[in-house]
Amino acid sequence: MYHNLFVQIGSDESLQQSFFKHRCKLLSADDALAYDSSTISTYSENQNEARYGFNKAHDGLKTIKLLTLYSIENRQPVVFTKQLGNVLDVTSITNAINQLSVLSVNAAEVITDNGYYSEKNFSELLLAGFDFITLAKTSIKWIRPEIDNQCKVLADFRSVCPFDPSTHGVSVLFMHSFEKKRKYANHKMDYGDHHPRRALFTKTRGKYQVMF
C-alpha cells in the first residue's frame, strides 16, 4: 500500500503542489521559513535531476540538489524540491525564490554559509540583484587583513557578546570590488569586458554581512 501511494504521489504534480500550498496556509503570520540546500550523491540511473558537477564528497558520482523549505518555529518541513546537480549556486537560489512566489511566500532574505563564500558566487549574486548575508572563512586573503587590524578591539572586554561570554565581535565596514569577465560577446559588450561591482561588508560577532 505504501509503495502504491508513493508511486501515485510521485507522478501527480498537481497533488504535490496542493499539499505544499495547504502546508503553507497552516503557518502562522509570524512564522519564519528557511530553505536548506544540500547536494547529495546518487548511484541511481533513474533520477532525471542527477548530473555530473561539483561534488563536495569527491566520490565521482552524479549529484542532485535537494532543497527543503521548513518552519523555523516547529522545524517541520513544508515544501521540498529537487534541482539539477550541476546548476550554479546562484541559479539554484533564483529558482527556489521563484518557486516560493508560487506558494505566495514573497519576503525572502538570502543567508548563505561556507558553501557560498567564493568571490565567483559573490559576483553572481551581485549581478542577479540579490542582497545577502553570508558566512565566510577568516583565512580569505581579502578578509584576513581587516581581522588582523581589529585584534586589539576584539581583545577588549567591550567586544564580548552579551549572550555568549566566550564570543567576541566587532562591526567593521569596508569596500571590496568584484569583476566578472564576459565569456561571449553581444551587441552591448565585447568578449573579456568586465562588470565592475562593489560590495559593502560588515562584520558582527565573527560573521560577515555583504550588502551590494
Tell me which residue of 130, 67, 63 sits closest to 103, measured CA to CA. Answer: 67
Q: What is the pLDDT of residue 181?
A: 64
Instruction: Taking the CA atoms of 69, 72, 73 and 77 in sequence, report the sign of the dihedral they define.
Output: positive
Helix ranges (DSSP H) in 74-143: 89-102, 119-127
- Dihedral angle at the C-alpha atoms of 161, 163, 165, 168, nearest 10 degrees? -20
- Dihedral angle at the C-alpha atoms of 188, 194, 197, 203, nearest 10 degrees? 150
Domain ranges of the chain: 27-108, 112-212
Say how far apart CA 19 and CA 139 lie, in whole Å: 44
Angle (CA) 36-41-45 rounded to 5° is 125
Q: What is the pLDDT of residue 188?
A: 53
Cα 53 to chain centroid, rounded: 17
Say how far apart CA 155 and CA 151 lie, in whole Å: 6
Q: What is the pLDDT of residue 184?
A: 57
Instruction: Estimate the share of the chain in helix, then strand, then coil, as percent rounded to the nearest 5.
Output: 30, 30, 40
**pTM for the model:** 0.60
C-alpha grid cell for residue 97? 525564490
Strand residue runs (E) in 57-114? 62-71, 77-84, 110-112
Q: What is the pLDDT of residue 197?
A: 47
Cα 182 to chain centroid, rounded: 24
Angle (CA) 86-89-93 rounded to 5° is 120
Angle (CA) 86-92-98 rounded to 5° is 140
Q: What is the pLDDT of residue 62?
A: 92
Q: What is the pLDDT of residue 22?
A: 85
Average pLDDT per consecutive 10 residues, the chain (212 residues; last block may be shorter): 86 85 80 81 88 83 88 84 84 80 74 78 80 84 88 89 88 78 55 45 45 39
